[in-house]
Structure 1
Amino acid sequence: MSKVQAYLTLIDQVIEEGPYQDNWASLSKVKEPAWYKNAKFGIFIHWGVYAVPAFGSEWYIRNMYQPEHPVYAHHVKTYGSPKEFPYVNFIPMFKAENYEPKEWAKLFKDAGARFVMPVAEHHDGFQMYDSDLSTWNAVQMGPKRDVMGDLKKAVEDQDLVFTASSHRAENVWFCNGAMAFDSGLDSEGYIEPYGYRVKVDGTIANPTPKQDYGDSIPKAHLEDWLARTCELVDKYQPKVVWFDWWIQNIAFKPYLKKFAAYYYNRAVQWGIDVAINYKDDAYAKGTAIFDVERGQLAEINPRFWQTDTAIGKNSWGYTEGNVFKEPENIVCDMLDIVSKNGAMLLNVGPKADGTITDEETAILRAIGEWLKKNGEAFYDSTYWSVFGEGPTAIIEGQKMERQAKGYVKGDIRYTYKAPYVYAHVLKWPKDGKVTLKSFALGSKHFKGIIKDITLLAFDHHVNTIRNEDGLHLSIDDKYDTIYPVTVKIQID
């Protein structure tokens, strides 16, 4: 019996003996972890072999086998043809010689994050952890150390929650373009770490990776995916497992259910509360935590959800010339997300040597400084009667953040922790005058009593007038800031 088949047998046994079975009705009984809902903010880490070429994006392996893509031209010019210099030649160059997990964990702690999520395996098929199911991993190649295991220890030593993501599913088509030319990978079949390179209806499944591949996904890939993901769970006990978008394909459905049942049953054995992240409709509502990539929701969702996004605008992994977001805008997005019952998973892309860029380090520290002063309105909070108010409307959906116009004067977001409502003024006006329309006399959102109003992080007296137009706030002293200002409202 192969190692994969042995794991499949174990999976069936754990499911049979546990409280959760591999069907939606049973899986819908799992509860959203309280720690997760309270944490609000985590760090995502895209780090792998793709950091060596550091060009284009973390999809380097796919694009270097696309003859019409700029990455292909770059690869040929810099390293030679893909046949002469295949992607695996980068692995010995991925040494992680300056990787200090304790420094990473301390930085993430200083940033105000409460959980950390390294990419355990990206689409390129290289595992960043110790595996018994493949030799193509960081322990046996490249860094020759358990980079994920070392990070888990460092993270937990900082009292942060360790989580992990798997992008293994997409490996089955990620290098399909290599079948269209003399690439050295131009035949069908399995080649580690490049995957199966499948065809759909006899045609190279290359231009539309989001299509439903149905029976074209080899059963061996599906079983390998399940075994690898369960091994990841058993070896590292992450409290969240995150999946990328492609697992919604119908062929994956039975395996998604099996994984969830196995993971949730293992969590019961370990006495921990865990969650799965998914996109689109891969998992049934109420069986896992919905995730929006580089996007947000327009309204409050009563089910806890998450945004995953990156500090880098161009790439998730490290690339030369990446453009970075401003920390004040990230904080505004965080508040919008939390006001709607969500959490933010914010990505960094370390260099191949294991260092985090100066730009990302500075941004993380700036976010941390804001959270140190305003954290009581953020952590352990929940949504209020209304998420907020103001002229800026969020365009809902995956990958919609590039269409965002930015927050402006009058944009307010609310969080709640009894007996306080926190009004986050995303863009503090220069005249120091703010109106909270949701607190107007006769408002459907609030009919109680206001006992006290203060600015959370600043020692300024707040003048107040409440009438049918709203709760009008002002301060006598000039205060100039590019960051959100939090107004603490005690209610009764």
Structure 2
Amino acid sequence: MKYKIILSTLLFFSLISESGFAQNTIHPTSSLYQYPKEPEVRQKLENWRDLKFGMIIHWGLYAVPGIIESWSICNEDWITRDSMSRYDDYKKWYWGLSKDFNPTKFDPESWAKAAKSAGMKYLVFTTKHHDGFNMFDTKYSDFKISNGPFANNPRADVAKYVFDAFRKENFMIGAYFSKPDWYTQYYWWDRYATPDRNVNYDIRKNPWRWNKYKEFTYNQINELTSNYGSVDILWLDGGWVRPLNTVNDEVRSWGAPIPPFSQEIDMPKIATMARKNQPGLLIVDRTVHGPYENYRTPEQTIPKTKSDTPWESCITLGGAWGYVPNDNFKTASKVIHTLIEVVAKGGSLLLGVGPTAEGTLLDAQVERLNEIGKWLDKNGEAIYGTRATDHFNENDIYFTKGKGNNLYALVKINEGSAPSASISWTKNIPKSGSKITLLGEDISLKWEKKGEKVLVYLPKEITEKYHSSPALALRFEK
């Protein structure tokens, strides 16, 4: 009972994370980028860039009390716990949640159905977050969903059934894996205190222990890329685990101390093994710019301008990555507006959804996803398979480029408003005689060029029909 205050405080940190106030939230893009050299990887990267919209699922011990994922056991200034509690007691309580995590209503098929209904095309699932609790049946740790009250369930190897369910819906499959593991003695050694997110011993003085950690990490990634069917993306989180010479201002901005040694885990060796197991595998070593960050992942934010290099914004549907009670979910309109802006700037949107401890999605989450999908059913042509154009935005209009000669104008409409009777822009001028079509209606719209401005006219029946619609999508040739 003494953790009631803690839970409410941590919920606060979860809910404010969207603004970037909470720690470890914003991972901005950088100008440095290396395209993968392997033809199979380059082809998969282009295939991924066509998909545009995916789901990331955070699910683990933190769902049981409904608190921020993993971070409550990290001893840093931005984490607030009950001042009357002992840190070691809190960690023991948190680790002990493994005895309570029994998701008897686990239904990954319903998750996949909801994601498909939203128009999503790829999945990233948390196989292990920073707390070290494994959502797959690893042989290298007993701290796993398949070693607690859920052990005798025929679906105890959770990741397998999640991947299978989404694969049956033709999703590209991504495995989230945390490079730091705060549970294993090879990373947070009980001999010492755990002052922050970093390894809690000096690697230079304990090379054997760190080498065991590298071996442990290698073996778990080998399992994930060998035993779980086709995996398309290895999404590695925990960017402070990296070579010391790659630490930059972005890493320093997170506020955690920078140890005077490398926390490198031999990514070349891991990548070689993983791509031998999964030819063409995309590797996303988040924030570690170089050959193993095949696309960038700004978190809870959208870059200010477009980028022609591959990237995705990972943004939560609510205020938290995982399940928290009474979360405030974004409206479908807000998500659609976000998707439009992200895609027009050349990126993809990875939307965060957290199932309950029982293994189900909330009705409110499913309702939002269905609403998003209804809009994409009509307007997906302007989203999927597109690329950014030089003039990507003008006021509330965003532009995307199809693979042929088509351009699309996506007109955002404020919630509760109707579209204007005329739409105008000054860039991306349609070629003379071009037909401008309203997607979803397959009707041609009257338009004219006045000076440097294009004017497109909407019939009254269209403005009335699309009252409260999140956006319109127009097709034309330039």
Fold-level similarity (TM above 0.5): yes
Say if 2:271 is the partner of 1:278. no
Aligned-residue identity in percent? 21
The residue number in structure 1 matching 2:125 is: 118
Consecutive unaligned residues of structure 2, counting only runs of 5 or more, are: 1-32, 245-261
The residue number in structure 2 matching 1:261 is: 272
2:107 aligned to which of 86, 100, 116: 100
Say if 2:180 is the partner of 1:170. yes
In 1, distance between residues paired with 2:191 and 2:468?
Answer: 54
Amino acid at match of 1:431: S
The residue number in structure 1 matching 2:248 is: none
The residue number in structure 1 matching 2:305 is: 299
The residue number in structure 2 matching 1:434 is: 423
1:374 aligned to which of 369, 376, 379: 379
Say if 2:352 is the partner of 1:350. no
Amino acid at match of 1:235: N
Query: Does the 8 Å contact 1:130/1:138 carry over to 2?
Result: yes
Query: Does the 8 Å contact 1:94/1:142 carry over to 2?
Result: yes
The residue number in structure 2 matching 1:483 is: 470
Say if 2:213 is the partner of 1:221. yes
How far the C-alpha of 1:25 sits from its partner, in A, is 9.3
2:73 aligned to which of 47, 62, 66: 62
Query: Does the 8 Å contact 2:234/2:283 carry over to 1?
Result: yes
How far the C-alpha of 1:427 sits from its partner, in A, is 2.3
The residue number in structure 1 matching 2:140 is: 133
The residue number in structure 2 matching 1:19 is: none
How is 1:264-413 mapped onto 2 (pairs within 5 angstroms)?
264-268=275-279, 273-280=280-287, 282-284=288-290, 288-313=294-319, 315-390=320-395, 410-413=396-399
How far the C-alpha of 1:222 sits from its partner, in A, is 2.8
Query: Does the 8 Å contact 1:198/1:205 carry over to 2?
Result: no
TM-score normalised by length of structure 1: 0.75
Amino acid at match of 1:93: D
How far the C-alpha of 1:28 sits from its partner, in A, is 3.6
Amino acid at match of 2:349: M
The residue number in structure 1 matching 2:63 is: 51
In 2, distance between residues paired with 1:216 and 1:27?
Answer: 35
Post-superposition CA distance 1:186-233 (Å, at most 9, x none)? xxxx549x843697xxx9642x75999874893332332222122211
How has the CA–CA distance of structure 1 residues 49 and 31 changed in structure 2, closer, same or farther, with 3 Å as cutoff?
same
Q: Secondary structure of the equivalent of 1:163?
A: strand
Amino acid at match of 2:241: I
Amino acid at match of 1:125: G
How far the C-alpha of 1:265 sits from its partner, in A, is 2.8
Amino acid at match of 1:106: K
In 1, distance between residues paired with 2:295 and 2:286?
Answer: 9
How far the C-alpha of 1:435 sits from its partner, in A, is 1.0
In 2, distance between residues paired with 1:486 and 1:389?
Answer: 14
The residue number in structure 1 matching 2:452 is: 469
Q: Secondary structure of the equivalent of 2:98?
A: helix
Q: Secondary structure of the equivalent of 2:297?
A: strand
In 2, distance between residues paired with 1:93 and 1:319?
Answer: 16
User: Whose RCO is larger (CA < 8 A, sep 6+)?
Assistant: 2
Q: Secondary structure of the equivalent of 1:424?
A: strand
Amino acid at match of 1:196: W
How far the C-alpha of 1:299 sits from its partner, in A, is 2.6
Q: Secondary structure of the equivalent of 1:364?
A: helix
How is 1:135-150 mapped onto 2 (pairs within 5 angstroms)?
135-144=142-151, 145-150=156-161
The residue number in structure 2 matching 1:452 is: 435
In 2, distance between residues paired with 1:286 and 1:303?
Answer: 14
Please report the RMSD computed on the Cα atoms of aligned residues, expressed in angstroms.
3.3
Query: Does the 8 Å contact 2:344/2:398 carry over to 1?
Result: no
How has the CA–CA distance of structure 1 residues 275 and 66 changed in structure 2, closer, same or farther, with 3 Å as cutoff?
closer
The residue number in structure 2 matching 1:425 is: 411
Post-superposition CA distance 1:408-457 (Å, at most 9, x none)? xx3423332313111101227643221122134xxxxx7x4452001112
In 2, distance between residues paired with 1:242 and 1:295?
Answer: 18
How has the CA–CA distance of structure 1 residues 449 and 159 changed in structure 2, closer, same or farther, with 3 Å as cutoff?
same
How is 1:3-14 mapped onto 2 (pairs within 5 angstroms)?
none
How has the CA–CA distance of structure 1 residues 455 and 215 changed in structure 2, closer, same or farther, with 3 Å as cutoff?
farther
Larger CA deviation: 25-34 vs 91-100: 25-34
Amino acid at match of 1:138: I
In 1, distance between residues paired with 2:338 and 2:405?
Answer: 25
Post-superposition CA distance 1:262-300 (Å, at most 9, x none)? 2223333xxxx32112332x1405852121111222233
How has the CA–CA distance of structure 1 residues 213 and 26 changed in structure 2, closer, same or farther, with 3 Å as cutoff?
farther
How far the C-alpha of 1:26 sits from its partner, in A, is 11
Amino acid at match of 1:485: L
Post-superposition CA distance 1:126-171 (Å, at most 9, x none)? 110111111221222242201111111111122222211002x232
TM-score normalised by length of structure 2: 0.77
In 2, distance between residues paired with 1:83 and 1:72?
Answer: 9
1:109 aligned to which of 113, 116, 141: 116
Query: Does the 8 Å contact 2:413/2:419 carry over to 1?
Result: no
The residue number in structure 1 matching 2:48 is: 36
Amino acid at match of 2:62: Y
In 1, distance between residues paired with 2:372 and 2:128?
Answer: 28
How has the CA–CA distance of structure 1 residues 196 and 471 changed in structure 2, closer, same or farther, with 3 Å as cutoff?
farther
How far the C-alpha of 1:27 sits from its partner, in A, is 5.7
How has the CA–CA distance of structure 1 residues 229 and 283 changed in structure 2, closer, same or farther, with 3 Å as cutoff?
farther
Say if 2:222 is the partner of 1:230. yes
Q: Secondary structure of the equivalent of 1:108?
A: helix
Amino acid at match of 2:66: A
Larger CA deviation: 259-268 vs 110-119: 259-268
How has the CA–CA distance of structure 1 residues 67 and 387 changed in structure 2, closer, same or farther, with 3 Å as cutoff?
closer
Q: How many residues of Structure 1 are paired with residues of Structure 2 in the alignment?
A: 410
Amino acid at match of 2:217: W
Post-superposition CA distance 1:87-126 (Å, at most 9, x none)? 2221121111111111111111111111111100011111
Q: Secondary structure of the equivalent of 2:437?
A: strand
How has the CA–CA distance of structure 1 residues 341 and 412 changed in structure 2, closer, same or farther, with 3 Å as cutoff?
closer
How has the CA–CA distance of structure 1 residues 346 and 198 changed in structure 2, closer, same or farther, with 3 Å as cutoff?
farther
